């Protein structure tokens, strides 16, 4: 909401959007459990950071203005 991109596009009701991002983190942790040691920790760190950034961008741009 503090982003200049959000002016006129978001309201206080959109503060629930971080829940989508928070739900993506346990999913990434489950992927680590299933993948096991086949991927290095550095690779997993880069992939998880990129995936969380994509989830945040998609959530920001595809969630409509919610009425307060």
- For the chain, 68 residues long, give each residue's pLDDT as a single digit of tens: 667 777 777 777 777 778 888 888 898 888 888 887 788 889 888 988 999 999 888 888 888 777 76
- In the prediction, which pLDDT does 54 show? 92
Q: Which residue has the tokens 């961008």?
A: 57
Domains identified in the chain, total number: 1
In a domain? residue 11: no
Residue 46 lies in a domain: yes
| Residue 21 domain flag | no
Residue 51 lies in a domain: yes
In a domain, 57, yes or no: yes
For residue 45, being part of any structural domain is answered with yes
Residue 55 forms part of a structural domain: yes
- Domain around 52: 38-62
Number of neighbouring beta carbons within 10 Å of residue 10: 19
Closest CA to 63 of 24, 6, 23: 6
CA gap 46, 61 in Å, rounded: 23
């Amino acid at each position: 909401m503090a982003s200049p991109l959000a002016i006129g596009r978001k309201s206080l009701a959109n503060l629930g959007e971080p829940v989508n991002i928070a739900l993506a983190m346990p999913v990434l942790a489950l992927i680590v459990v299933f993948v096991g040691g086949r991927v290095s920790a550095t690779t997993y760190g880069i992939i998880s950071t990129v995936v969380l950034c994509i989830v945040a961008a998609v959530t920001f741009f595809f969630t409509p203005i919610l009425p307060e």
